[in-house]
Structure 1
């Protein structure tokens, strides 16, 4: 959440002798032009403005598109310091607003960006000083712009939708050079007690406190800076007895015309933090209206905070947290990383649940996306205990079910927070707070459950939306219900007390530290900083436990708390929903079973948990990699998560996903790389068509659903045609020259890799997906009986593969490298991208195999260096799990398992069986980590683990056991898998070492022998060895053994 700074133009009157430059009064708009992302629409019109005409921007994101842009050339020199101002109003939903300044080269861009801009229906003026235009991109880096080329207004999709925005009075205001204030303020007051004048209040430490004379109310205190001064707010330390309960802050440039800046009507003394974002004035006046005792006003210390103090709500609370006792605020305000997991339901087969809560390691529960959080505190032994007291221990029910808990112990008391989601009613989240006395004596305590405007996601989680401060504008406790804006907190266990407060009465932890709650029952907070607390007094005998329950409905339209209890006690209500959730998750996650040796069960538990996270992150028919930062759908993520769902028997969600995604394919066959609730996003990415075809074919291979194939076959045809059209762009004579021949026959430049966004390149990732897509389209053509297309599509795939191989060899030779590069231009080493050639492209048996061996031998050496800390790597992305499958396919069994074990250590936290998108070596570093749990990474982990047991090669060859470590086979009970779905049926097998010198595998019926054979590839200690199949001796084998019948018992004697 950010403060939106809207000022009148005369706020800075007199700041410069240089006149304001009127850039555009919009008498004519023909010089303004537009750019819209694919799927979005934008148009311009001349309309009535604030004083004359204005520019009206009409935009529409309902059919997709990431942003619309409006710009005009302004070839002028920029002063050393300046402010750009313009009048603005809008009739539009909240979206991202950017104002970009582009230099004359068009390469260097600085921008102001508000990720959640609320357009006012009445005219306001936005005045942006130079410092608010941050570096966006360009070769000049952080150097300020000295000349202007373009001004661009950008509306990027946040809430999406459509609307209109009006702009008027575009002006450039030269300002004096920025510098720190060096003057000496003069303070005067309406009255003062002898020896307690105000002049030394601003000293640090203050020379003396100020107290007004005992003349009653009102009083005033005036600060004169002697010149215009910029500031971001005020910090006031009040007299403990004679503090103001109501007062107003005003500012002025001339001491005659005053502007109201801030008001407090329920002050509670102690310290007040007054946010005054982007303020500038010569004078500040405190109009003190009402005091606590009616005996005047006292201030012990006054601080004028710098401009950064209120540059955002997060910056202000960082300062407040630093001033407070550790634990009074979320740890991220102290610059420490915090990790969380998701709380949600799998919904139904046809629809995923639309709501997910988050629980972090400190017991903080974010009730829904963008909403507030509930945080527990314990009062005992005369002091308040928070997350900062004691060590937190996270866990999951039964070690893998997505019902998370966090336990914390402090002295004789322990507190465990458990959260779960229920589908009755839909979207219901329940929380249990369990306090246990582990001591030998009776313990007295109070459990406080606070409702505060903070998210679980930290402020540095700033992709698409901000973390940190959220917002609660209205908060009230009535009829045993706590209502926060449009949401309810239902105390199934009635509190002894409940109270709410606005920002004037911060912090509520001061009340909690007195074993009390705020006195208010209903508040409105214009800043959105309202907070509240429920108090539960506890008297616990030794060993006794007390549970407190909350219900958090998705909507606030429930009649009351009795509707949730249905006449049952809170404990029975919880127990019923808890048992239902356990049963449902055991059923959802129990279709495939693994047998591994003791000590490695965590791998199996993580497989089950990540399958659950994939199901939880479904939103309607969408498959999403996360619920917050990545609460969108990418087809590349969906291709891998769909493969995982199919392997575990969850075909219906894949069917729903594909039908939904197919509706957004364009008439020319393009498949959007990404969809969100407002439509498609068409980045320049060329992997999506191949991924869509692959996923359609994969679903059909697993299910044989001819009705589905008939419905989507026209979409597949269109996608192949689109890929063929793209490739034709690189089949011209221009790409036969020496300097361009490495691009011949490839798909065009793309930004499908994050590293290629600034400069799209010919990415082999796209090509391998297209090769697979064309091959799959050929299979599907045969399935629908279209022999002509079956032959043509197979030929297209073969031609593309030949051109890709030729390009890779040219790039290797011309760049002097021995590995398979990720792109033709950069000849870059990126094994995680290249691995798709093996896991999806089936290149392990092709003529790229020697180069792939070089690539992944190097990768395996790098992993060993990282394990030994010989290679410094502060962070990595666990997409690297994809490399495990690549290593298995290349016969590097030991390196594959070693890599799996290394990457497995990156769970954050380990007990929640999950990974963020980025794993930092310093786990507490305040760094962006993507979303968590990250379901695409979870799916890559599952695919890596499955590759140890089974994988498919090109030509529909199924290979068993190629990644199993030898020690698993020799462990008591051996190793096995049951119920794994493949495109050839259900796979069940068990491997063990029944006697010295013997290795045995038993494979059940239920699997059709694939056209490309069924191959057993076990870790035999020595070869060649003798083989016995179903009691009949076979020819010796050098390791791999081909099966042609099932069921089968194969014994290898070595």
Structure 2
């Protein structure tokens, strides 16, 4: 298994893949560009490097670099960027060879074009057939593959080589094992070769001679047009300026909201998810991936939208929701999947996924909660109303006795949503509580919208429907537990399947846990926490989906805050490569086992991670109008310079907050400022390593505070809090 990241621009319909070895796939299904160093009889590549590292610019910007060493003094660096307007963008890669030895070094930098994608076969990728190659030697002349422009060298080339596959891949030619039929050695020379074997396995290479004294380096710049046009092509000399423009562009994008943690690795990982989300988007369409998942689900879009708004990206969300709302059908069905063209996905699952109803309503209301845009609510309330009416239509199917009367304990299916596959854990449609939790959230948000807009008659109707539906869901869960003699919350009403990761949404974001039996809910997550700990520590190979990040907030909500952070630390190890701050959809303990991993970076997973980290710091409770601060914050995030939030969006306005833990003095310092709101209450939780009441509490700016064993209640909008505990064991937090 090889891992990769994205290089591109927001809203572009094409993105390049850049892998952990510095190889490039400039667009979907394209042949791969792979660099080598040749010195004498030795051929070096990143895959066999003595040492290799992957990094991002400043630790979080989506400007990837790969650096590797031959083990004998040669150092190679590859870095990739994309530049230009989104309909005429070009990806550039700069390869730099540096002589770090104390002797003169001679050889060749070789950049090959191979008939394979970075995206492997088990990811619906694999081969990228090359049936013909045409090339005219010269700077900026494109290699024409299968009749289309592909890669071009912006640096002077010494030779261009292209063997027939009958003699083997280009690697054989580089080792001098075959005679080349096609090569170009000087400006104006041309190469034209067709595949005589009809395998589609032609390959080629540029060679660049080097002679470097100690400390000297040589740069090679190659480019590829993502949309077939070279109208914005720059020169090799422009790469440095283009790269700085790319860095500045992403810095401005990602630093619009102040978000700093004492743990910079976590901080950087959160920030990078924003970039990956924007890179995965095609136009206004939010997508979870760039290759395997090159379309949109309301399931993914709703949660990714909520993540974007939590970090100040409102325009992107508004454009997406406007686009999706236009496609809500006349009867109220919210299409669960849409192609980026706007056409409704008509494949399997088209009419057996029901979570999109509640998710669409939630997303519309979530936009209002962050922006206060009443006109937006008014504009889309008709679509929301239709979506609620369709929930009634769906429920009517299971209220019919013919749906359940013939089954053992069949009334467990009565009044909930009909079978679906939207839970994603089922191939055969099941009565999924995943859908039910989202419907509960949809009803709650629909009611609130109706009230805001003065549709009291619709609010009353929706309130009646919501209460009846919630009652049915609660009864279904209780009857399934009794029928199967379960001690946990089942995710479906058909078989009583355990799946804590799907149950977790009942706490965040659906706030539907009032329908769950408390003892079974507690048992569900205590058993899950124990399982993960044992899985991580055990000797057996395993795999999991990082959707498990949802369980971080579930554990914290249930009071298991230390266990929540322990889970974070376990799942955080699933980033690959770690310094690229990205998650796949599937993680294996054997990181090199080649299996389907969804997409990389997978930004529905990434959004779940961001929401969980943010939730451990700032968590809104919409029903109670409570802003929880330091909800499950570990001391590691409060160490060093602590947590600083500025212009930080919440449902109650932009938050300014500084929080720091002083381990030597056993003291928490917290400064908060947020817009006034008489209906909003603030609850500051004590850090997770200090669950007991402090010995001393001082508050400036709020006289009406109330302290309890778990935190402090405040009603003001600007205050300074200092809480001190008795001296105890020092944590020895890194940096303090």
TM-score w.r.t. length of structure 1: 0.64
Tell me which residue corresponds to 1:432. Answer: 94
| Cα deviation 1:176-226 (Å, max 9, x = unaligned) | xxxxxxxxxxxxxxxxxxxxxxxxxxxxxxxxxxxxxxxxxxxxxxxxxxx
| Cα deviation 1:54-80 (Å, max 9, x = unaligned) | xxxxxxxxxxxxxxxxxxxxxxxxxxx
Tell me which residue corresponds to 1:175. Answer: none
Contact 2:163 2:173 in 1 (8 A): no
Tell me which residue corresponds to 2:219. Answer: 547
Query: Partners of 1:744 and 1:873 in 2: how far apart?
Result: 41
Query: Partners of 1:787 and 1:492 in 2: how far apart?
Result: 66
Aligned residue for 1:976, secondary structure, equals strand
Runs of 5+ in structure 1 lacking a partner?
Answer: 1-336, 347-351
Deviation at 1:734, TM superposition (A): 4.2
Tell me which residue corresponds to 2:151. Answer: 489
Aligned residue for 2:649, secondary structure, equals strand
Query: Partners of 2:605 and 2:678 in 1: how far apart?
Result: 29
Deviation at 1:1011, TM superposition (A): 3.2
Please tell me whether residue 741 in structure 1 is matched to residue 411 in structure 2.
Answer: yes
Please tell me whether residue 447 in structure 1 is matched to residue 109 in structure 2.
Answer: yes
Query: Partners of 2:386 and 2:652 in 1: how far apart?
Result: 28
Rate the CA distance shift 1:341–1:736 in 2: closer, same or farther, 3 A.
Answer: closer
Query: Partners of 2:515 and 2:665 in 1: how far apart?
Result: 37
Please tell me whether residue 338 in structure 1 is matched to residue 2 in structure 2.
Answer: yes
Deviation at 1:602, TM superposition (A): 0.8
Tell me which residue corresponds to 2:134. Answer: 476
1:414 to 67, 75, 88: 75
The structure carrying a bigger strand percent of its residues is 1
1:952 to 608, 612, 620: 620
Please tell me whether residue 836 in structure 1 is matched to residue 513 in structure 2.
Answer: no
Query: Partners of 1:735 and 1:760 in 2: how far apart?
Result: 14
Query: Partners of 1:918 and 1:388 in 2: how far apart?
Result: 23
2:528 to 848, 854, 859: 859
Please give the residue correspondences for 1:241-260 in structure 2 after superposition, counting only pairs within 5 Å. Answer: none
Query: Partners of 1:557 and 1:596 in 2: how far apart?
Result: 43
2:456 to 787, 799, 816: 787
1:634 to 274, 297, 312: 297
Please tell me whether residue 510 in structure 1 is matched to residue 168 in structure 2.
Answer: no
Tell me which residue corresponds to 1:371. Answer: 30
Please give the residue correspondences for 1:652-801 in structure 2 after superposition, counting only pairs within 5 Å. Answer: 652-677=315-340, 679-681=343-345, 682-734=350-402, 737=405, 739-757=409-427, 759-801=428-470
Deviation at 1:1024, TM superposition (A): 6.7
Rate the CA distance shift 1:767–1:649 in 2: closer, same or farther, 3 A.
Answer: same
Tell me which residue corresponds to 1:315. Answer: none
Rate the CA distance shift 1:976–1:873 in 2: closer, same or farther, 3 A.
Answer: farther
2:592 to 904, 911, 924: 924
Contact 1:477 1:500 in 2 (8 A): no
Please tell me whether residue 459 in structure 1 is matched to residue 144 in structure 2.
Answer: no
Aligned residue for 1:379, secondary structure, equals strand
Query: Partners of 2:148 and 2:705 in 1: how far apart?
Result: 72
Query: Partners of 1:847 and 1:345 in 2: how far apart?
Result: 43
Contact 2:155 2:222 in 1 (8 A): yes
Please give the residue correspondences for 1:54-133 in structure 2 after superposition, counting only pairs within 5 Å. Answer: none
Deviation at 1:945, TM superposition (A): 0.6
Please give the residue correspondences for 1:871-890 in structure 2 after superposition, counting only pairs within 5 Å. Answer: 872=540, 874-890=542-558
Query: Partners of 1:342 and 1:967 in 2: how far apart?
Result: 30
Deviation at 1:1021, TM superposition (A): 4.7
1:359 to 18, 25, 28: 18
Contact 1:772 1:797 in 2 (8 A): no
Please tell me whether residue 869 in structure 1 is matched to residue 538 in structure 2.
Answer: yes
CA RMSD of the aligned region, Å? 2.2
Please tell me whether residue 582 in structure 1 is matched to residue 225 in structure 2.
Answer: no
Deviation at 1:535, TM superposition (A): 0.9
Rate the CA distance shift 1:383–1:1035 in 2: closer, same or farther, 3 A.
Answer: closer
Query: Partners of 2:322 and 2:216 in 1: how far apart?
Result: 54
Aligned residue for 2:417, secondary structure, equals coil
| Cα deviation 1:787-818 (Å, max 9, x = unaligned) | 11122223322221121111111111121111
Contact 2:691 2:710 in 1 (8 A): no
TM-score w.r.t. length of structure 2: 0.90
Rate the CA distance shift 1:539–1:417 in 2: closer, same or farther, 3 A.
Answer: same
Deviation at 1:424, TM superposition (A): 4.7
Please tell me whether residue 1052 in structure 1 is matched to residue 729 in structure 2.
Answer: no
Contact 1:702 1:981 in 2 (8 A): yes
Tell me which residue corresponds to 2:494. Answer: 825
Query: Partners of 2:181 and 2:619 in 1: how far apart?
Result: 61
| Cα deviation 1:544-592 (Å, max 9, x = unaligned) | 1111101211233437xxx633xxx623x10111011100111111123
Please tell me whether residue 1042 in structure 1 is matched to residue 704 in structure 2.
Answer: no
Deviation at 1:725, TM superposition (A): 0.5
Query: Partners of 2:681 and 2:474 in 1: how far apart?
Result: 26
Query: Partners of 1:491 and 1:967 in 2: how far apart?
Result: 47
Tell me which residue corresponds to 1:212. Answer: none
Query: Partners of 1:386 and 1:1024 in 2: how far apart?
Result: 58
Deviation at 1:992, TM superposition (A): 2.7
Contact 2:700 2:720 in 1 (8 A): yes
Aligned residue for 1:477, secondary structure, equals strand
Query: Partners of 1:1025 and 1:555 in 2: how far apart?
Result: 65
Aligned residue for 1:749, secondary structure, equals coil
Contact 1:432 1:550 in 2 (8 A): yes
Tell me which residue corresponds to 2:63. Answer: 403
Query: Partners of 1:344 and 1:631 in 2: how far apart?
Result: 15
Deviation at 1:846, TM superposition (A): 6.4
Please tell me whether residue 593 in structure 1 is matched to residue 258 in structure 2.
Answer: yes
Please tell me whether residue 531 in structure 1 is matched to residue 203 in structure 2.
Answer: yes
Query: Partners of 1:407 and 1:1024 in 2: how far apart?
Result: 49
1:965 to 634, 638, 644: 634
Please give the residue correspondences for 1:960-1039 in structure 2 after superposition, counting only pairs within 5 Å. Answer: 960-966=629-635, 968-969=637-638, 971-993=639-661, 996=665, 998-1005=667-674, 1007-1009=675-677, 1011=679, 1013-1019=681-687, 1020-1023=690-693, 1027-1030=697-700, 1032=703, 1034-1039=705-710
Please give the residue correspondences for 1:192-231 in structure 2 after superposition, counting only pairs within 5 Å. Answer: none
Rate the CA distance shift 1:743–1:845 in 2: closer, same or farther, 3 A.
Answer: closer
Tell me which residue corresponds to 1:127. Answer: none
Contact 1:999 1:1052 in 2 (8 A): yes
Contact 2:357 2:442 in 1 (8 A): yes
Where relative contact order (Cα < 8 A, 6+ residues apart) is larger, the structure is 2
Deviation at 1:530, TM superposition (A): 2.6
Rate the CA distance shift 1:663–1:1035 in 2: closer, same or farther, 3 A.
Answer: closer
Contact 1:453 1:471 in 2 (8 A): yes
Rate the CA distance shift 1:409–1:950 in 2: closer, same or farther, 3 A.
Answer: same
Rate the CA distance shift 1:408–1:993 in 2: closer, same or farther, 3 A.
Answer: closer
Deviation at 1:944, TM superposition (A): 0.9
Contact 2:440 2:512 in 1 (8 A): no
Query: Partners of 1:1010 and 1:634 in 2: how far apart?
Result: 37
Aligned residue for 1:809, secondary structure, equals helix
Deviation at 1:780, TM superposition (A): 1.4
Query: Partners of 1:1010 and 1:1033 in 2: how far apart?
Result: 13
Rate the CA distance shift 1:1010–1:421 in 2: closer, same or farther, 3 A.
Answer: farther
Query: Partners of 2:75 and 2:170 in 1: how far apart?
Result: 23
